[in-house]
Amino acid sequence: MEVRIFDTADEIAVACADIFTEIIKNKPDCILGLATGASPVKTYKELIRRYNNGEISFENIRTFNLDEYCDLPRDDKNSYYTFMHENLFNSVNIKEENVHIPDGNAADPEAHAKSYDAMIDAAGGIDIQLLGIGTNGHIGFNEPSDTFSDGTFKVKLTDSTIKSNSIYFDDDSMPRYALTMGINSIMKAKKIVLIATGEAKADAIKATVDGEVTPMCPASVLKNHPDAILLIDKAAAKLL
């Protein structure tokens, strides 16, 4: 696992967009694994800028998102479907049929999760997976647990995640469950880039980089990946 430390989130966005740009240029029909949350927003802005410059095209790209809340209408302002369209898809030439986000309202979540993984495999696997990290070390919505998860599954969110993410929701309406790619789905990606900024992520980054590989800090599994890069700022790197 490679760790690169930057002064600012803007520099991280450029470095991350550089990695994506190289892959997109080498393989215009690549498969991107995408993430939500505040961490990737600047990277998406930079990719939109490069698309507008004519540097990259999303015409033949297919995307698979990491996760989605359960029991939240797809067009809710807080759904990851809405997030991805507002922060990236509406501003580039991606075809809607090439966009994949787990359906948190699927009648049979288990069957849906299986078919989501099968679709990723049928597409040839993810060329590059973008990740953020939760303050508890979660990736996607893989919460600290006794075992590493396998494929996409329905997860009960922890109190810590509910606390972190409920700032976006009115009242107490934050969903308690989500569908997320599993650790094994994430680890199958050919390349993984994780972004973390700010002091709130320092403990999680310390456990990921210096701690043992343990499902109690899901991101620590990235040490077992042959091509994982952490792009972090000085505040997130504070305890290293």
Q: Is 100 a catalytic residue?
A: no
Interacting residue with ligand GLP among 33, 104, 132, 175 (CB under 6 A): 132
Interacting residue with ligand GLP among 87, 142, 149, 161 (CB under 6 A): 161
In order of 85, 103, 178, the CA distances from 116 in angstroms are: 19, 9, 14
Q: Indicate which residue of 46, 65, 67, 142 is catalytic.
A: 67
The DSSP annotation for 120-182 comes to: HHHTT--SEEEE---TTS-BTTB-S-SS---SSEEEEPPHHHHHHHGGGSSTT---SEEEE--
String marking each residue 109-128 x if it binds ligand GLP according to CB under 6 A: --------------------
Q: Is 67 a catalytic residue?
A: yes
Q: Does 141 bind ligand GLP (CB under 6 A)?
A: yes
Cα separation, 123 vs 30, whole angstroms? 9
Q: Is 143 a catalytic residue?
A: yes
For ligand GLP, the closer of residues 27 and 223 by Cβ is 223
Residues in contact with ligand GLP, counted by CB under 6 A, come to a total of 14
CA 4 to chain CA centroid, Å, is 18
Bridge partners (DSSP) listed for residue 64: 33, 100
Taking CB under 6 A as the binding criterion, the range among 4-12, 56-64, 129-137, 208-216 that sits at the site for ligand GLP is 129-137
Chain positions 46 to 85 lying near ligand GLP, rule: CB under 6 A, are: 66-67
Q: Minimum CB separation from ligand GLP for residue 159, in Å? A: 13
DSSP letter assigned to residue 217: B
For ligand GLP, the closer of residues 97 and 159 by Cβ is 159
Helices (H), the chain: 9-26, 41-52, 80-87, 109-122, 159-165, 183-187, 202-210
Closest CA to 170 of 80, 68, 105, 77: 77
Q: Is 138 a catalytic residue?
A: yes
Chain positions 168 to 187 lying near ligand GLP, rule: CB under 6 A, are: none
Chain positions 5 to 44 lying near ligand GLP, rule: CB under 6 A, are: 35-39
Q: Indicate which residue of 136, 142, 165, 233 is catalytic.
A: 136
For 67, phi and psi rounded to 5 degrees?
A: -160, 170
Cα separation, 118 vs 116, whole angstroms? 5
Q: Residues in the site for ligand GLP, rule: CB under 6 A?
A: 35-39, 66-67, 132-134, 140-141, 161, 165
Residues serving a catalytic function are 67, 136, 138, 143
